[in-house]
Structure 1
Amino acid sequence: MTASPPPVPPDERLATGTARLSVRYQGHFSPETIQRLIIDSYERLAESARVRTHLVVLAERLAAERLDALSHVKGAPGCGLPRVLFVCSHNAGRSQMAAALLAHRAQGHVVVSSAGTHAAAAVEPVVTQVLTEAGVDLAAAFPKPLTDEVVQAADIVITMGCGDACPVLPGRRYLDWPVTDPEGAPIAVVRDIRDEIDALITELLASLPSS
């Protein structure tokens, strides 16, 4: 049987990202697998994008995160650190704050991801502002769609207002943090939400195994 040809990239610049990731994951994933994943990442991000200027770069970053997760699932040698995934509806507010705060507080001792069941086009500006006030940089963050790889790779999945939309897999620890959605809220309320999440992060860190 003749193998089906690889898909045609929706943007020819994706070939450069595919080449970079092929070098990075040489011996773990074929260039064809990487090409399909980077195209899929691009198309998922394009569904909610208002501006496509940086879509190629973001697709490569999303594909790399998915490949790292897939490597973990396949049992490739890795860092062995606990992996925490935050999920909310749009990945523009609560889950972004939680992931940024945990990464900031954990100082490299936890692998942190976040995603949305219906990813938005951009992170809420007020969320970036209140995190900057707390000394946490969110400038490079962008909403990411929820994919099977990151759920499968997570040791702990923390849902934040997305209800039953997040898939439940056996062997994962699931937590639900019923935190208020910051969308449209005044900055004083968003600061309170940030502090509430930070308190939950403190409890979470205390429950994780020591590195």
Structure 2
Amino acid sequence: MTDATVYYHQDLSVDQQLALRTAAVRLAREFDGTCGTETIERFLHTSFDQFASLSSVPNFLPLLAERFARQRLHALARVEGKHRDGKPVVLFLCTHNAGRSQIALGWFTHLTGNRAVAWSGGSEPGTEVNPAAVAAMAERGIDITDEYPKPWTDEVVRAADVVITMGCGDACPVFPGTRYENWVLDDPAGWDLDGIRPLRDEIERRVRGLIDQLAIPAN
């Protein structure tokens, strides 16, 4: 690692520098032979920058940056043909990545387990997942408390076999060979638990239909 990497920037705290240095080492070990050091550093750097303008909890920034960089590196490996596990990849996109797409991600992951890969993102990511969405999913035994709003990047979109959009319109890049489907669903921002339950159930119905179309065995 060189002194040009993100964790040596003077505007970062000592704790942030240490956390990012440790994250870079972990990612380098995890993607050894798949992604080069320069790519890993760049993805960690840009992921940190993307969350720095969104997060209100600076201590969590290195963790979020590492998690998002890891997802992006996995996506890049798929795009470049360096990771072939045969699992279909579905990407759920909405505006804030705080309600609809997080509910869809929760259902898809719950129903498919490790038989498929699911990611989510937003065109204008919020600062937290809608608490009512978290509570609504918890009622059905699905925990999405570890999820967080995030943007999407080109490599994540390119790695997906199916991209489901929900209100992000023309903001989503279109790549040849990728299947796109738009779900017309209201944005639940500001809704309470009673209001969000019907949306949760409608998204469940659509996710189950998508799983059937992809011929993925559901739990």
Matched residue, 1:70:
76
What is the percent sequence identity of the aligned residues? Answer: 41
Deviation, structure 1 residue 30: 1.6
CA distance in structure 2 between the aligned counterparts of 1:163 and 1:56, rounded to whole angstroms: 30
Selected match of 1:48 from 41, 51, 54? 54
Tell me, what secondary structure is at the counterpart of 1:53? helix
Matched residue, 1:170:
176
Deviation, structure 1 residue 117: 0.8
- The unaligned stretches of length 5 or more in structure 1 are none
CA distance in structure 2 between the aligned counterparts of 1:74 and 1:187, rounded to whole angstroms: 42
Q: Relative to structure 1, is the Cα distance of residues 88 and 210 closer, same or farther in structure 2, using a 3 angstrom cutoff?
A: closer
Selected match of 2:40 from 34, 53, 65? 34
Deviation, structure 1 residue 186: 2.6
Deviations 1:22-75 (A, max 9, x none): 001011112221111101101101111122221111110100000000000000
**Structure 2 residue 124 is matched with structure 1 residue 125:** no
CA distance in structure 2 between the aligned counterparts of 1:180 and 1:29, rounded to whole angstroms: 39
Tell me, what secondary structure is at the counterpart of 1:50? coil
Tell me, what secondary structure is at the counterpart of 2:58? coil
The residue type paired with residue 66 of structure 1 is R
Deviations 1:89-146 (A, max 9, x none): 1100000000111000112211000000111111111110000001101111111111
Checking the alignment, whether the CA contact within 8 Å between 1:83 and 1:154 is kept in structure 2 is yes
CA distance in structure 2 between the aligned counterparts of 1:160 and 1:73, rounded to whole angstroms: 24
**Structure 2 residue 100 is matched with structure 1 residue 94:** yes
Checking the alignment, whether the CA contact within 8 Å between 1:90 and 1:143 is kept in structure 2 is yes
Matched residue, 1:82:
88
Checking the alignment, whether the CA contact within 8 Å between 1:124 and 1:183 is kept in structure 2 is yes
The residue type paired with residue 140 of structure 2 is A
Checking the alignment, whether the CA contact within 8 Å between 1:21 and 1:64 is kept in structure 2 is yes
Deviation, structure 1 residue 151: 0.1
Deviation, structure 1 residue 210: 4.5
Q: Structure 2-normalised TM-score?
A: 0.91
Tell me, what secondary structure is at the counterpart of 1:201? helix
- The unaligned stretches of length 5 or more in structure 2 are none
CA distance in structure 2 between the aligned counterparts of 1:186 and 1:137, rounded to whole angstroms: 18
Matched residue, 1:209:
215
CA distance in structure 2 between the aligned counterparts of 1:119 and 1:137, rounded to whole angstroms: 20
Matched residue, 2:193:
187
